[in-house]
Amino acid sequence: MGFLQKELWGNTIESWIIGVLLTVVLVIVFKLLRNFVSHKLKKRAELSRTIIDDLFVHLAERTGIWFFIVVSVYIGSLVLVLPPQARHILKTITAVVVIIQFGVWGSALIYALIQLKLKKRADEGDSSAKAMIIILNSLGKFILWSLIVLLILDNLGIKITTLVAGLGVGGVAVALAVQNILGDLLASISIVLDKPFEIDDFIVVDNYAGTVEHIGIKTTRVRSLSGEQIVFPNNDLLQSRVRNYKRMKERRVAFQLGVVYQTPVEKLKKIPGIIKEVIDSVDMVRFGRAHFKSFGDFALIYEVVYYVLDRDYDLYMDVQQEINLKIAERFEKEGIEFAYPTQTIFLEKS
């Protein structure tokens, strides 16, 4: 027992043995605990379709042995009496390692959250979603590790106030120099995350209409109905009024027709009912209304509203053609004449 009570560097040999054993035991316990948790989570993740379980598995696997060793050494050192400088160095090393480990976990969390938001679209072959995963992941990790570096410098006793101020001024200068590029980049992120439109959506922007082919970092490309490709800067596109026809659940159609002034009142009263019967006989259509709207220059004007229960434009044109033909057929049977531009001149003898 006398040997164990001998002092070595300010502590008894017994204290050194206890500290070393405690450190070794903690490293083994931490490693076994990580393996156990990782194994259990893997089994659960195999039975689950959510990405959350995969995230916890990834976080467990990204917990490094070096983290366990440093934390265990610090805990084991608590049974020892160390000089203030040595204790400060050990605390600083432990703090830096813990901060780095949190950075590793944060990187994994950022990637998982981005995947959770965009993975489905990326799996469906959306190239813009794949590109945005890379961009957002890189941007998120850059911001995270910038903060990590600042925290590490602060723990090392370096004054970071001046450095942060300098980075702020430099950041403003860079932002002003590349504000157009940054505007388009942020707009592309907003488009991908907020999804006002997606690939293959048919959109109308001002006087331009077409199908979205590509959503890039700086521009969005639309294939117009006449065949040419229209390129929109993302920032301009996001500030415009965009009409997305692919998300239309049903199409409201309003049209007018005119009959001649010589039409008897009895037939004028029958026209709304005739139009309703015609529209009700057409598939995929819901009747809205039909009214004698106004007295025109050369015709009595009726306004008709109906709804096509599908967004397909070709179906709408087929329906409109069928309705027009059936109305013409019914009007011919009823002896109702369509109006066309005419002028009647009355001559009076003096």
Query: What are the residue ranges spanned by the domains of the chain?
Result: 7-161, 188-247, 251-334
Q: Which residues pair with 211 in a beta bridge?
A: 202, 223
At residue 5, the pLDDT reads 61
Per cent of the chain over pLDDT 70 is 83
Task: Give the model's confidence band at 263: pLDDT under 50 very low, under 70 low, under 90 confident, else very high.
Answer: very high
CATH number belonging to domain 251-334: 3.30.70.100
| pLDDT 10s digits, 177-206 | 456 667 777 787 788 777 888 888 889 998
In this structure, are residues 258 and 302 in contact, taking their beta carbons and an 8 Å threshold?
yes
- Rounded CA-CA distance 17/14 in Å is 5
Task: Give the model's confidence band at 121: pLDDT under 50 very low, under 70 low, under 90 confident, else very high.
Answer: low
For the chain, the average pLDDT equals 82
At residue 215, the pLDDT reads 83
Mean pLDDT of 315-325: 94
At residue 337, the pLDDT reads 93
Kindly report the number of other CB atoms within 10 A of residue 136's CB atom.
Answer: 19
SS3 state of residue 273: helix
Task: Give the model's confidence band at 110: pLDDT under 50 very low, under 70 low, under 90 confident, else very high.
Answer: confident
At residue 37, the pLDDT reads 79
From the centroid of its chain, how far is CA 185? 14
At residue 163, the pLDDT reads 57
Q: Which residues pair with 233 in a beta bridge?
A: 219
At the topology level of CATH, where does 188-247 sit? SH3 type barrels. (2.30.30)
At residue 162, the pLDDT reads 62
The candidate with the shortest Cα–Cα distance to 271, out of 260, 285, 282, is 260
Q: Where are the alpha helices (DSSP H) in the chain?
A: 13-47, 51-61, 65-77, 84-123, 127-155, 161-177, 179-194, 234-239, 265-280, 313-334
Task: Give the model's confidence band at 294: pLDDT under 50 very low, under 70 low, under 90 confident, else very high.
Answer: very high
Judge if 188-247 and 251-334 fold alike in CATH terms: no
Task: Give the model's confidence band at 172: pLDDT under 50 very low, under 70 low, under 90 confident, else very high.
Answer: low
SS3 state of residue 196: coil
Strands 285-295 and 219-224, sheet pairing: unpaired
